[in-house]
Amino acid sequence: MTSAGEITRRGALGLMAAGGAGFLVFGPRGQRADTRGRIVLDYWEKWTRHEGDAMMRVVDAFNQSQSRIFVRYLITADIGQKSLVAIAGGAPPDLIGLYAYNVPPYAESNALMSFDDLAPAFGLSLGQYAPGVRQVMQHRGRWWASVNTAGSVALYYNKRAFREVGLDPDRPPTTLPELDDAHRRLVKARDKGPLERVGFFHPEPGWWSWLWAYHFGGSIYDAQADRSLVDSPENHAAMAWMQSYARDLGPDRCKAFKESFGNYFTPENPFLTGKVAMIIQGPWLANLVTAFAPDFDYGVAPFPVAPGLSDPAAPVGLIDTDVLVIPRGARHPEASMEFVAWTQRQDMTELLASAHCKPSPLASTSPAFRATHPNRGIGVHYDIFQSPRAFVPPQTRAWQQFKDEVDTMVQRLWRLEVSPEAALPPLERRTQGFIDRAAEERRRRGGAS
């Protein structure tokens, strides 16, 4: 990740010029309106389709609520890199919708304005958010972002497939051995030939290949010590568990089976077609069901854990969020914060969360929000939000490199090309190297300001 402090204005403009026509084609796009006499704020956001439409309703409501500020919603592809270039070039937008994992590198690059001073004046406090969600808003003791939508990750399962093989559709697996048993009963293959259905399949969707260690009671990163833990006993157990599936199903059959899957947001998604009966996913999956298979009968439960770790009062689960930040150099930080505060109102957070099929990031919700929510399993996601065992992606500036390295090795492990004993020690050394270089860079700059 390139830092704001290292990019000169000329260099940033050069990068943007190199993007040339591409930036013009894929850069920010938004609406035109009469803005005479108003402060105009440019808001870069990554969302399109139904997600972008919902955020536009929040923006429109703000613009209509007063006559001093006008927010322009600008759809921006490759938002993480384009935003850094714009900030370094001295021409940032006023607001940016990023991913939570962007917060540490942006904060350490001095690319964000802290919320510590701005937010309280507009009635915002960390205490108004669900406990698990607060983790992603802060980095190294300072507050850098608000959460505009948040989801937690859980087990989604096909109740019709459960009934077909004699499993109780109202009793999902709570431990990994129970998941393994359900998987084995759900596997379907004609005469031991190509797979027609599996119970669980680790590479689907494959967005969080690093999280299995947490369901064995471990972690892959120690934030206090700033150390990689991918060689931990828990991660060894997790990788061995994952490989047991590949070994039982057969790597070649797994490869051919995965190649038969359709893309995520299509009717050919393997969960909707019944090819994969149980998946790990976020609450947004309900939008997929509504769009393409409204009669699909699904259940939701916390993703199972290793024996001895099950606790219904404290489920284990990843929290994955989108955040709203004010970049360093924004022309009107107070006006920007006024808009941020508008988006964090209970009615606005619930409007957006409902459209995205997600829980509200706030600690409290209205009774109507839960009663009419389009995701039938929304209560499970709230339980994870409140859980002391909820976790977020490792908050290190090196996370993107760290994750890419882990993703590559997990794919090799899934294909049975390498054992955990051979793969994980060097993987820990490489990921620790990324962390050490990030720490050295932080020391040179004096840390996140």
The model's confidence at residue 7, banded by pLDDT at 50, 70 and 90, is: very low
Q: Is the pLDDT of residue 258 over 70?
A: yes
The pLDDT of residue 91: 94
Please state the rounded mean pLDDT for residues 400-419.
97
Please state the rounded mean pLDDT for residues 407-426.
98
Share of the chain above pLDDT 70, in %: 92
**Residue of 332 and 78 predicted with greater confidence:** 332
* Mean pLDDT for the chain overall: 90
The pLDDT of residue 36: 82
> Three-state SS string across the chain, please?
CCCHHHCCHHHHHHHHHHHCHHHHHHCCEECCCCCCCCEEEEEEECCCHHHHHHHHHHHHHHHHHCCCEEEEEEECCCHHHHHHHHHHCCCCCCEEEEEHHHHHHHHHCCCECCHHHHHHHHCCCHHHECHHHHHHHEECCEECCEEEEEEECEEEEEHHHHHHCCCCCCCCCCEHHHHHHHHHHHCEEHHHCCEEEEEECCCCCCCCCCHHHHHHCCCCEECCCCEECCCCHHHHHHHHHHHHHHHHHCHHHHHHHHCCCCCCCCCCCCCCCCCEEEEEECCCHHHHHHHHCCCCCEEEECCCECCCCCCCCCCCEEEEEEEEECECCCCCHHHHHHHHHHHCCHHHHHHHHHHHCCCCCECCCCHHHHHCCCCCCHHHHHHHHHCCCEECCCCCCCHHHHHHHHHHHHHHHHCCCCCHHHHHHHHHHHHHHHHHHHHHHHHHHCCCC
56-107: per-residue pLDDT in tens? 999 999 999 999 999 999 998 889 889 989 999 999 999 999 999 999 999 9
The pLDDT of residue 174: 98
Q: Is the pLDDT of residue 11 over 60?
A: no
The pLDDT of residue 31: 53
The pLDDT of residue 18: 36
The pLDDT of residue 51: 86
The pLDDT of residue 6: 39
d(Cα 150, Cα 89) in Å, to the nearest integer?
A: 30
276-305: per-residue pLDDT in tens? 999 999 999 999 999 999 999 999 999 999
**Residue of 161 and 442 predicted with greater confidence:** 161
12-59: per-residue pLDDT in tens? 333 343 333 333 333 444 455 678 889 999 999 999 888 899 999 999
The pLDDT of residue 50: 84
The model's confidence at residue 191, banded by pLDDT at 50, 70 and 90, is: confident
- pTM of the entire structure? 0.86
The model's confidence at residue 343, banded by pLDDT at 50, 70 and 90, is: very high
196-248: per-residue pLDDT in tens? 999 999 999 999 999 999 999 999 999 999 999 999 999 999 999 999 999 99
The pLDDT of residue 78: 87
Q: Is the pLDDT of residue 2 over 70?
A: no
